[in-house]
Structure 1
Amino acid sequence: MVGTSTSFTKERAPCGRRVVGSRYHEADGSGMVCDDVHYACGCRELVHQFHDGNCRTRIIRHDGKVLLNELSAEHAE
């Protein structure tokens, strides 16, 4: 997998502050996708989609408080 990292300015972090940061995106073309956002204040948003369709989402505030930690299952019918 080849990933790309980009910087951004003045985006709203999970804590509500508008700060700079970086976004890392990686995909293998077969369903595995990683999107990780790191804000200058220390907040983080992590979204990892797996080959089976499951998606893990974590949002962590700069003080370490977990705002969201969710695993959603994708069911094909």
Structure 2
Amino acid sequence: MMKEYDIKAQESQVLTKVICNCCGKEIPQIREGIWEEYFHAEKSWGYLSQQDGRQDSFDLCQDCYEKMIKSFQMKVH
């Protein structure tokens, strides 16, 4: 996950930046606390997988998301 936070207090974090994990482009912030739309994914891998216990998360800009889904064999609905 490519997000940067400004830690104001020990218990709260303020999101300051979102970066596409694929192309490295910064997702534009429209106004304070609101970003242009982007795709965010999180996966906690279970037992019996090759990634046993691993937790993954990533963010994609709209362009990279479109490229990713165009590469799928089955269309996204």
**Fold match (TM-score > 0.5):** no
Higher relative contact order (CA 8 A, sep 6+): 2
Give the TM-score normalised by structure 1. 0.26
Give the TM-score normalised by structure 2. 0.26
Normalized per residue, the structure richer in helix is 2
Computing the radius of gyration from Cα coordinates, the structure with the larger value is 2
